[in-house]
Amino acid sequence: MDIPREDPLAAVSPLDGRYAGRTAPLVPYASEAGLIRARVRVEVEYLLALADESGVDLDLSAAERADLRAVVDDFSAEDARLVKRLETEGAEGYAATNHDVKAVEYFLRTESPERLHPWIHFGLTSEDVNNLAQRLLVKPAVEEVLVPELRDIRDTLAEEAREYRDVPMLARTHGQPATPTTWGKELAVYAARLATAIGRVEGAAADLSGKLAGASGTYAAHRAAYPDVDWRTFSREFVASLGLEHTALATQVNPCDDLAALFDALRGVNNVLLDLDRDVWLYVSDRYLGQEAAAGETGSSTMPHKVNPIDFENSEGNLSKANSDLTFLADYVTTSRLQRDLSDSTVKRNVGAALAHCLIGYSKTAAGLAKVVPNERIMREELENTPEIVGEAVQTILRREGDTAAYERVKELTRGERVTIENFRDLFDDLDVDESVREELSALTPAGYVGYGGDLVNELDEAK
């Protein structure tokens, strides 16, 4: 089979094949080209910062500064290809580096006057560049791509919670009929949980921190060259200028506890959505929710009538894969033998894949929510056919009236039995209670026994 490598059908991963359209927003942050450009940005910003340090013998003219910034601003696909050739084949008079960061250094030499070449990557170890570049990609990938998708889901849940706040439905605890709720209140629970989880993700992304301290985290090369420069302050201010927190204590590698916290926060979001996906799937199965059929879509290759909850199933699969990856990444990136080993380098290249599975999952949950509508008739019929659920209210009212056998009385009538509302009324007739209490009990209905169900939706607005 002869398929060109650039054809999506030749992709080894579905992220770059089947789902390429859905993962496209992450390409600037998760691709090899994106990482190369981020490294170029770090090297250029560092060079400019060196020139701004009064204790360093480097001066840049306004034109040179503009030219260096243009290297970043105008960085093209062809530039990225050149960096890759410098690494793997050799180019522009340089032999193959077999080192990705060294290739960036040589690329910048091709874009700058020779007098600046000694200052490019001055005193740095490659991890100084990589850890900053990676965070300059992960941070916007989360804040500008993933979080907006999550907020849209949260807003959809909140809007539908308000719309269906008073639609009663049978609840199920342990899968069995339980005290009724409302569809709106159930959606509000997920909207509130998701809002909290999003806040944790935003906080973790804001706390991403960078390291720039040399080969063993001691600034040794910097201090040897310029002992009078306060390199710790320089590092702190430089990292902050990139929009990152500063990691003051490190080995050659950034300890990556910040990334682990972000991955854990994303897992928290994903767990909320996995719970939602599975619950909605069950509600569709129980016919509490109907689905709008897309014109021309096939639900089953053999059963033409089917409209399957495939969006929620697809989301569940992708979010489960994302969580597996995120768990592995969080565990792995926080470890390094002694001051440095390279095993984490290849692992960190998979961060983008984990984020891509998240993005697919979010888009699929959103697509599924756009298709489902509550089947109020089925919900009400189910309530009417399950009158035993008012037993909780009955025994609670009787307790209020001082009946010490209230629970046992209702249990004997209802547990494991199919009862009718008439059975309850027969029980009420035999009770030694005031007529007003008997009327109160007789007025109970499954559909009306929802407590503050609808009103609880207001908690969403109060929590803002």
Rounded to 5 degrees, what are φ and ψ at 95?
Answer: -70, 160
CA angle 30, 350, 263 (to 5 degrees): 90
- Give backbone dihedrals phi and psi of 121, rounded to 5 degrees, phi first: 70, 30
Inter-residue contact 135 to 83 (CB < 8 Å): no
List of residues 6+ apart from 299 with CB closer than 8 A: 293, 305, 306, 307, 308
Helix (H, G, I), strand (E, B) or coil at 180: strand
- Kind and range of the H or E run holding 19: none
Catalytic residue among 54, 61, 174, 436: 174
Class of residue 140 by CB neighbours under 10 A (exposed 0-12, middle 13-18, buried 19+): middle
Angle at 380 between CA 377 and CA 381, to 5 degrees: 85
Residue with tokens 């053999």: 302
The Cα 349–Cα 333 span in angstroms is 11
Those residues whose C-beta lies under 8 Å from the C-beta of residue 56, and which sit 6 or more positions away, are 50, 226, 229
Please report the DSSP string for 102-159 in residue order: HHHHHHHHHTS-GGGGGGTTTT--HHHHHHHHHHHHHHHIIIIIIHHHHHHHHHHHHH
DSSP state of 94: E
* Beta strand pairing call for 94-95 and 90-91: antiparallel
Instruction: Say which amino acid occupies 385.
Output: N
Residues 6+ apart with CB under 8 A from 188: 157, 158, 161, 165, 456, 457, 459, 460
User: Are residues 373 and 292 in contact, defined by beta-carbon separation less than 8 angstroms?
Assistant: yes
Q: Is 174 a catalytic residue?
A: yes
What is the enclosing helix (H) or strand (E) of 74?
Answer: none
Nearest to 370 by CA among 152, 146, 169: 152
Of 13, 241, 285, 300, which one is the catalytic site residue?
300
- Active-site residue flag, 300: yes
End-to-end CA distance of the chain: 56
* Single-letter code of the amino acid located at 436: S
CB atoms within 10 A of CB 1: 4
- Residues known to be catalytic: 174, 300
